[in-house]
Structure 1
């Protein structure tokens, strides 16, 4: 191994990045460091789904450290709340709260995740190799790999299902997969109904924070996602609960 060259992995602690690490250890691939960027809701509350955050800090990071892998945790200077309450500085909506991020053009992804990762990468040697957790059956994503980016999942013929099984066997499959097949913040506008229902049922304190934001005046948009306000989703879930209660009373 070239002493000057470094090998890192961008690790979300999802199945693909953890399977990449397991493959690296199994096949003797060089790996110096795992870099994890934690998006924050505010200065104290993580943007990770709470079950996944618990997994990262109580099982994921300790497991990598036992393997001898350095883990670097990054956080951006700005949080979801900073972006939500920031003011638009020009255009027809000047002075309004930026509010909910736009699906497909997420400022949270850009400012709270991509920027701190790129800032950290600039501190690394220019020939650093970055492992990216993309499975061999994700051909479109593999074609977008850049210079000095490598998929060990492709190299060792691992599909997404293979990655799942590797992590499950190692006891490193996040409990978040019980409610979703994707990674994402608990306030993500791309969250599926099942993910939102889980948040509503199991994390009412976080749900309440989103309703507080929905109630703020002067927002550039009232919509949480492409079609609904967060308060609309809340009302639908409440109605479902009321109907279920009536059904139980009648049974």
Structure 2
């Protein structure tokens, strides 16, 4: 589904990503972990096409997107859903209008059919009957769910998540993790989750990829990942071990 071949990205001489090569399979959930400033957000922006690589190639399916124009990227982005770190809902729109936004912008569906899809997607994320509420009336966890409902309304083949557990308490974080797993299974989508939360990555991911100072230093299953001897990897498991949690 996604391939990066020797991808690098520089900003004003600073190399944010260095020769990253990575393959993400159709239907896989990949968690991308790393500390602040490691390059994981840069990688996500490259995959969405918001920025261009300095060198290397990025494929979505069989299409190389790394050097496409905005116009060329539009039809490809219709197959992508994005769940933003802080939900990024439109404050002036109801929940229903937020979820319907992409459908109204990019399809010719009737309002009756759009309303039906909105109800379906909100039901999928466990939010029945909230169409008329405003974002200001929602909790942080509910906003994340609405953001996901909006992302899946256009039935994408890939969903990108940017720090989905950011700002949530441990109980709500686990619920969002369960929702990510449920969405992947229900819709058979490819999921790419950028997170700094190792426990969350262990719960949701088929594989974990770690970015450290712009380099991809490890890619493996959650079970094998915790056994890697690299001290940079082990540092991410320190908190888990002190709380008696480990990847299954």
Is the helix fraction higher in 1 or 2? 1
TM-score of the superposed pair, with normalisation by structure 2: 0.32
Is the strand fraction higher in 1 or 2? 2
